[in-house]
Structure formats: structure tokens, C-alpha cells
Structure 1
Amino acid sequence: MPRKARSHRLRIGRVSESGRVYLITITCHQRHAHFAALQSGRCFVQALRACTAHAVTLSYVVMPDHVHWLMALREHADLSITVQKAKSLTTQRWRRAGRGDNKRLWHAGFHDRALRREEDLVAMARYIVANPLRAGLVNDIGDYPHWDSAWLL
């Protein structure tokens, strides 16, 4: 008998802490490679730029079937609402670009990890940005179009 999804349980105990740096991972619905095309990936990048009132983006990479987003939560912002806003804006742009019609773009929920203050943010940003290299999508990160970092690596 298949197990029921319990993604709602991931939210139990989740706390939003202003100024805290979070590593967010959001996956595409059924791990479909929705962001394999250049324009599709740009939809997420544009959504991040629209979320500046909620979070400061430190680093991100858009992979074909998921995204990693290193961000600092702004004062009075809520983590779940901020991520939902980024997902919603991405979906709107993605559909407007004629990509999705009625397809679901995102898997429900997201994974977050609050970084400890002593953790090396530059090392975390390097790890995030190196995802396309580890996945074998490119041999040089400069050849991959969907990433940015506050620290040019």
C-alpha cells in the first residue's frame, strides 16, 4: 500500500528568523526538467529579483529540475511566504512564456536549512554554484547561464 505524502509535516517547527541566512531547495513537480530551456530558467531568476522586499539573494543556481537559493530573510519577512512568493511569480512568468499551460511546475513545499552564524557563506555559495559542474551539465561554470552569487567565484 503506498504511503501518503506528509509534506505538511515539514512545516511543523519551521521558524522564520529575520536576518538569518537560509539555503532553500525547491524541486520541480515529479522532478521534470522544466528549466532545461534558457527562457524557462530565466523565469525563476526574474522572480527572485521581484522578491527583494522579502529576502536578500546571496547565491542561486537553477538546475533543470530544481533550484538552490541562498538568501538572508529580511526583517518581518516570513520564510514560507517568501518562498511561496518566489514559486508563484516563477509559475506566472513560466505560464506567460507559454511553457506550462496547465502543468504543475513545482513540487509541494520546499526544503530549508538555516545556516549557523559561523558557517562559511562563500564556501556554501561555491557549493551551490558548482551544482552544474557536479551534474556534468558543463565543464566550466562560466558556460552555465543560470547562476549568480554575491561573491563572484
Structure 2
Amino acid sequence: MPDLPASHRLRAGRYAEPNRIYLLTTNTLDRKPIFADFSLGRLVVHQFRRAQNVGLAKSLAWVVMPDHFHWLIELENCSLRRLMRETKSLIARDVNECSGRSGPLWQQGFHDRALRREEDLVKMARYVVANPLRAGLVEKLGDYPLWDAIWV
């Protein structure tokens, strides 16, 4: 494989399949803790809900960390590229507007992991929503406000 920038290597060989389960992760630019501000983190949640409402992806579990998010989805009527491009773009627009900041919000690209249906989705959802515990942000999951899972 040619020596490509990291964001291009993330896309190499990416294939999106409708009705497949994916774990998606993306980071803020320079890992700035933008979403330590709860109100800005809620803007991310709003875009997760929008994506579901317009039929792009069904949200199974998610957590918004101060400098990134993890989103467990079932892909519906779009590509991963379109889902993440729209979601990240709309979040950046909203965050910039609400916070008075300007410029890019996200690192380029995103990480995706396709899951087999047989895999324990509940176990993966628990892994996703337990990120604040592992990061030492809270002592109990219920103390962290920016997460959800359909199994809870």
C-alpha cells in the first residue's frame, strides 16, 4: 500500500453494507475537549437523532466524550461516508454557531468497525457507553450525561 496520510488509509478498502452494524469513532481536531461543555455535546446527540429520523442509520448506542464520539449504528439508506460527512458537518456548523468559534471541528476521516450479527451487540454497547468510566470522568455510568443505548 502506498504511504498515504492517516485519513486516507482509514478509507482504504472501506465497504458499507446496508443493514450492517458498525461502530463509528471520530475525534475532534487536535483532540480538543469541545464536548466537555454539555450543551455542545447535546448538539452531537441532536445530529445522531436527525440521522435516525431521516432514515440514514438506526442508533443502537452512543457516547459523546469530551474530544470524540463512539456511535454504534445499523446502517440504513446511505453510505458510511455520507452518514459521517453529513453528521460531522452539521455538528460543526451547530457547534461553531452556538459557541462563537469558527473553522474545522473534526480531524479528517473516521474509524469504522463492521460487526457480525452473531457478535454480542449488547456487550459492544456496554463497551461504548462505559467509555466515561474507563476514562475516569465519572465513578458511575449514570453520572455521565452524554450516552444512550437501546437496551437500557
Q: When the two structures are superposed, what TM-score results if normalisation uses the length of structure 1?
A: 0.92
Partners of 2:6 and 2:102 in 1: how far apart?
27
Structure 1 equivalent of residue 39 of structure 2: 39
Percent identity among equivalent residues? 49
What is the CA–CA distance in structure 2 between the aligned matches of 1:42 and 1:89, rounded to whole Å?
13
Q: When you count helix as a share of all residues, which structure comes out higher?
A: 2
Q: In the alignment, what sits opposite 1:82?
A: 83
Shift of 1:5: 2.6
Aligned to 1:132: 132
Task: Give the match for residue 146 of structure 2.
Answer: 146
1:122 is aligned to 122
Structure 1 pair 29–122 and aligned structure 2 pair: CA distance change class (3 A) = same
Tell me what 2:71 maps to.
Answer: 69
Any idea what the Cα deviations from partners look like across 1:49-89, whole Å, max 9, x if unmatched?
11112000000000001100000000x41111101111011
Q: Secondary structure at the match of 1:51?
A: helix
Structure 2 residue matching 1:50: 3-state secondary structure: helix
Following superposition, the deviation at residue 91 of structure 1 comes to 0.7
> 1:94-113 to 2 correspondence within 5 Å?
94-102=95-103, 104-113=104-113
Q: For 2:125 and 2:45, how far apart are their aligned partners in 1?
A: 16
Q: How does 1:52-63 map to 2 (within 5 A)?
A: 52=52, 53-63=55-65
CA distance, structure 2, for counterparts of residue 99 and residue 60 of structure 1: 26
> For 2:50 and 2:96, how far apart are their aligned partners in 1?
17
Deviation at 1:96, TM superposition (A): 1.7
Structure 1 counterpart of 2:68, one-letter code: H
What's the C-alpha RMSD, in Å, of the aligned pairs? Answer: 1.4
Aligned residues: 148
Pairing of 1:17-36 with structure 2 (within 5 A): 17-36=17-36
Q: TM-score, normalised on structure 2?
A: 0.92
User: What is the distance in 2 between the residues matched to 1:82 and 1:4?
Assistant: 23
Cα deviation, 1:27-60, whole Å, max 9, x if unaligned, reads 1101111110111111110111111120000000
Using the alignment, how far apart are the partners of 1:148 and 1:132 within structure 2?
12
CA–CA distance in 2 between the matches of 1:125 and 1:68? Answer: 10
Gaps of 5+ in 1: none
Cα deviation for residue 7 of structure 1 reads 1.6
